[in-house]
Every structure is written in C-alpha cells, then in structure tokens.
Chain A
Amino acid sequence: MLEINDLHVKVGEKEILKGLNLKVPAGEVHAIMGPNGAGKSTTSYTLAGRAGYDVTSGSINFGGEEIIGLSPEERAAKGIFLAFQYPIEIPGVSTLNFLKTAINAQARLRGEKELDAAQFLRLVRATAKELNVSEDMLKRPLNVGFSGGEKKRNETLQMALLKPKLCILDEMDSGLDIDALKLVSEGVNKLRSPERSFLVITHYQRLLDYIVPDVIHILSGGKIVLSGDKTLALQLEQNGYDAVINKAA
C-alpha cells in the first residue's frame, strides 16, 4: 500500500526527515511515535503534499505509484487522507456544502460520476448518524465553534465519506479528553477494513489503547530507529523516549 524509501525532506533550509524508511501493507494499522521535533508532523504533511515540505531525495510509493510531485488534491483522489491535528475552521462554508464539494471533486478527479443532491444527503445523514455527528453540526460553518471532540468526529465523518485507502491520523488525541478520545477511536475502528491502511501518528501511548496498532515505529532525528509490536508503546510509557532510543542505538 505505502512504501517510503530513504526519504529526505527539508522545511525551509532545515532537513527534518533524514532517510525515512517505512512500509505499511494493506489493511494494517501502523503507529509512528516519537519525541517532539522527531519529524512526525513533517511525515504526515509530506505524505499529503503540503507546500513547503520539499522532498530532496527518496521515494514515496503509494498503491504501486510514485506520488512525489503530485498535488494534495491528486493524492486525496488516489486515496490518501490526512486527519488534521488541528482541523481548520472556515467561517462562511457550511459543513454540508464542504462535504459535497470534496466528495464530488474527488469523483471528478477519478473520472467517476458525481452524486446528486438527494444521493449525497442520504449518504451523509446515514454516515453522520453512525459516527455521532449531529444534524446541527452539518449545518454549521465548517468546524466553527466545534469542540475538540466535535472537530475530530467531523474528521472521522470526512474519512468515512471519502473512503480513502490510507488514513493518516496526525496526533488524533490532541485536545481530546478521555470520553471524546473513546468516541473518536470507536469511529476510526469502524472504518478499519482489509483494504484500508492506517498510519497513526502520536506522541502518547494513550491513543493506542483505543486504536490498537499492528506495528509501532519510533521516529527520532528524522528516521525510524526502532520498530516492534504494540508492547513497544508500553516500554516507552515506562522508560521514556530517551532510554528506548538510546538502547536501540
């Protein structure tokens, strides 16, 4: 599904990723953990194609295709979804309108048929209900006045509607209390499937109690320094990043 080889990325003049290697097979959930400044957010933004994250060497193969050089919208249409750490508030754009525009824009980019208004509403209502997104939230301007939990639920709704092949969850637990975290994780777990991979990026082990990964990678200094199963998270929790990373080195 996703294969990253020897990826080097600069932000401005500074090299942040220094030879990242990562392989995420279809249907698996991989977590990337790491201390502040390790390159976690850079990894997610680079995969999504944000301007200002310059790939200087290496490759990102997604579904058998090199995606470096593609625009964010092209990557989205190919099935990459980035759930934002801090979803953006956009006053003046209703959530419903935004969802419809996004779904149909991706359909157009893929050469598929767009949904008409009735089909779209049926789909959104059914999906929203399943993910605890209220009708009121759909009518409000995008993320404006949403609580932290509502914003993340809204991200999950977008994920469900856009049906991506790879979901990158960037610090999904930021700004969430335990109850909200549980609710959002339940939503994410509903979307797990053999055709869909997840890359869960997080600083804390807590999130991984709810979204249980197949593999955990530790990112430090711009590369993966250690990979293992879910017990790795517990080691980190007990001993801290420094100890685990030093041991690995």
Chain B
Amino acid sequence: MGKVVSLDNLLASMEARRADAAPWLGSLLDESRVNFASAGLPNRRVEAWRYSDLAKALHESVPASTDAMAPPELPGAAIVAFENGVLDESSSTYAGLGAQSLRQVLGEASSPYAEIIGKIYPQADHPILSLNTALMEEGIVLRVPAGVKLAAPLHLRFNWTGDAADDGRHLRVLILLEEGAEATIFESHDGAPSFSTIVSEFSIGAKAKLTHVRLENLGASARQTAATLADLGAESFYRGFYFSQGGHFARHEALVKLAGEECEAQIDAAYMVADKRHCDNTTVFNHAVPNTRSKQAFRGVLSGMGRGVYQGCVKVAPQAQKTDARQMSRAMLLSHRAEIVTKPELEIYADDVKCSHGATAGELDAAALFFLRARGIPEVEARAILVEAFLAEAMDTIADETLRNVALASAQAWLSRHAGEVSHVE
C-alpha cells in the first residue's frame, strides 16, 4: 500500500538524520532542510510541477500494484543492487570497479567528497534535490580516474518488492569521470516504490564520455521522482537514453549544464503510458559557455487514460555564442482519453545561436495503417507494427546492441501486455 507521505514526517526525519550525521555533512544537510522546509512538497502551483502535482500524489493512498516485473539482466555488467531502496551487498558485484557505497562514504569522519556531493550542479531552489540531500543514506559513489575506460557497464538495479518506510527512500548516485574517462551506466527501475526519490550527480570531466541508459518499468502504484544532474567539461559527451512507462507518479528530470566548450549532450527517449499512469519527462539544458551542442528527442505512446508530460527547457547564457540546441517531442495517442502535455521553453540570451524545437501529437496514421492492411497484414498486427516502428526510431539510437535489445524487450513487453489497446481505438 502506498501510504500518505506528510511534510511533517519528512521534516522530522531530516532532523533525526542531521543529528546522526558526520560533521562534514552538517552544513549541507542544514541548508537542504531549510530550503526544503521553505519550499515544501512541490504542487501544481509551482510552474515546474504544474502538470505533475507530487504533493497531491503523496496525499493519496494507493493500492499496491501486482504487476511487478523482474529486473532486466545486462550480460557482463557489474551490478549495484538496491532492494527496496537499500543496497544489497550480497547481490552486488561492483567491488572491482572501485565503487563505494554511499552509506560508507557518508559515515566517514572526513571525506574527499565533502566539496563534491550535492555541489556538482547545485540547485538550491529545487525542492526534490533538497529533500533528497537532506535524507540521503543509500546509494553509490564511483570515481573513474583520468583516461580510464570502464570495460563493463555499471548496472544500477533499483528493485522494489515490499513496503518502504513512511517517508520513502531517498537514494543518491555520484559518478565522477575524470579527464578522458569513459563509462556506461545502466539504470533499471522495477516494482512499485511507495515513495522514492533518486538523484544522480554526474561530473563529466574534460574529454570524458558517459553513456547513460535508464529503463523505468515501474508498477502502477509506484511513486517516484528522479533527477539526473550532469556537469559537462570541455569536449565531453553525455549520451542519454531513457525509457519509461510511468507509474502512479513517475517523473524524471535531466538537468544538464554544458559548462565546457565543445561539449555535447544528447538524449533520446521513449515512453509508453497506459491505464491511469502518469509519466513526466522534464529536461533543462543550460548552455553556459560558447560552442556547445545539445539534442533531445522524446517519443511517447499513450493509451487508456495515460498522461504524459514533456517539459523541455533550453537556456543559453549571454556568452554562450554558437550554441546548437535541438529539441523534438512526438506523441502518439491511442485512446481519446489519453493525454499529452508538451511544454517547450527557450530562454536565449545570446544572438549567434541555432535553437530549434518541434512538437507533434496525433493518432496512428490511418494511411499507413491502410497501406499495411492492403498488403494483407491484419489490423491488430499492423497497428502493433506502426507503434513499434514509432518507438524503434528512439531505440535504434542506442549504439550498443546488448543495451538496445534490453530496451527493446521492455517496449515489446509493454506492447504485448497492451496489445488490446494498441489494436483498436477506444
């Protein structure tokens, strides 16, 4: 059962957490608690949360879903396993990579991460980041030294099978890629957390390259809001691929600062939202210096009473000339009761830039459907082909074949589970 989460409980937990914290963490936790207390849980009166009212979702009592899927397996990957928000050492195989559990890092009397954690791309006005920082306990910290290329992907496996604490679980991932380092992070989210926040901080050094594939296959009662914060150094590259099928409340934000010249960030995403699920994809790309590039393409399929939200914000600082930023959102609505909210925002303060955005929302293409049927392909199959083809354009952007197949399997599982909705319009 997803329980009601109250502000008072959260603040009380923060107090308790602060009392036990190592001295080097004290001021960070204090700041975060104060910031969170003044902002409160975000609701629809806050513009960034207008279409995703977290406070309301947390005031609802949600029957636990029974549609949990087993986490995907990624052959050859080192695993960091979180069961119900707690690091499960016995199922984890990350030791060889030099990663450390967050609990261990936070427990030390002094830390090399004191000036890093919570400070890679600070956002004092972001209530969820403040909440997560003030309550973070579990998580993982990985530093990849200069020039090192991780041979195997790191699989962050978040799996939720049981009841969590009243005030939820708040996990933190910290990944530091030093100059020229390369790594692949694969995140999987399965099951139905009662309430979880997951914040990942990525520091991507000069000439470093991070491939980040995240698959959210949460259950219908899941309430989760996650954020990926990335700071990109000169000539670095962040390559993201996101798949999500939403939840009772599921949101992911990519907050990316293009902070070094000639760096690039590219995100492709696919989301499939059925029943009464809610799926929010929010991005904020902050082009802070000249000569940086960003590209994002989000594709959604919505059925039943599914609700998708895409908010894409591109900021270009006055000095960030020669910025090249592209944004595209496409949504396919399979039911008349499904909904997509698309909100592009461009804040451009430099004059020599290329910025584009486009958004479409529509039904399955009737002409394409007739074409396939006129060739003898039955309607049910033809519809599935068109929906899969629509998403395949996103999936095909995953360069690694193993990762691509894992992502495709998630999409196909959704399609077969919702074959009835895909095959006819309500």
Contacts and interface: CB of A to CB of B under 8 A. Distances in A.
Determine chain B's interface SS by DSSP, over half rule: helix
Interface string B351-382: 00000000000000111101111111111011
Contacts of B393: 91-92
B287 to A, nearest CB: 29
Interface string A76-91: 1100011010011011
Interface string A48-79: 11110000000000000000000111011100
A50 B366 CA distance: 10
B390 interface: yes
Contacts of A101: 377, 381, 385
Contacts of A98: 372, 375
A46 interface: no
B213 to A, nearest CB: 19
A88 B367 contact: yes
Contacts of A220: none
Interface in B10-56: none
Given A51-B370, A84-B371, A90-B368, A109 B389 contact: no
A72 B381 contact: no
Nearest to B377: A105
Nearest to B380: A73
Contacts of B366: 51
Interface residues of A, number: 27
A48 B378 CA distance: 14
Nearest to A45: B370
A82 B377 contact: no
A50 B370 contact: yes
Contacts of A84: 371, 374
Interface in B371-414: 371-379, 381-382, 385-386, 388-393, 396
Interface string B88-107: 00000000000000000000
A76 B381 contact: no
A71 B373 contact: yes
B376 A106 contact: yes
Contacts of B382: 73
Interface residues of B, number: 25
A215 interface: no
Contacts of B370: 48, 50-51, 72
A158 B386 contact: no
Nearest to A141: B389
A163 to B, nearest CB: 11
A162 interface: yes
Contact of B374 (A76, A90, A91, A93): A76
Contacts of B392: 92-93
A84 B375 CA distance: 11
B389 A90 contact: yes
B371 to A, nearest CB: 4
Contact of B378 (A75, A92, A105): A105
A158 B385 contact: no
A105 B381 contact: yes
A17 to B, nearest CB: 18
A109 B374 contact: no
B386 to A, nearest CB: 7
B385 A88 contact: no
Contacts of B391: 92
Contacts of A72: 370, 373-374
B376 A93 contact: no
B330 to A, nearest CB: 11
A232 interface: no
B385 A93 contact: yes
A163 B385 CA distance: 23
B42 to A, nearest CB: 36
A162 B371 contact: no
A245 interface: no
Nearest to A89: B368
Contacts of A93: 385, 389, 392
A91 B389 contact: yes
A81 B376 CA distance: 9
A102 B385 contact: no
Contacts of B375: 76, 98, 102, 105-106, 158, 162
27 contacts: A48-B374, A50-B370, A71-B378, A73-B374, A73-B382, A75-B374, A76-B375, A77-B376, A82-B374, A84-B371, A87-B371, A88-B371, A90-B371, A90-B372, A90-B386, A92-B389, A92-B393, A92-B396, A93-B389, A93-B392, A98-B375, A101-B377, A102-B372, A102-B377, A105-B381, A106-B375, A158-B375
Given A76-B375, A102-B377, A109-B376, 16 more contacts: A48-B370, A50-B370, A72-B374, A73-B373, A73-B377, A76-B376, A77-B376, A81-B374, A88-B371, A91-B393, A92-B389, A98-B372, A102-B372, A102-B375, A105-B375, A158-B375
Interface of B: 365-368, 370-379, 381-382, 385-386, 388-393, 396
For the complex of A and B, the 6 pairs showing the least CB-CB separation, nearest first, are A92-B389, A76-B376, A106-B376, A72-B373, A92-B392, A102-B375
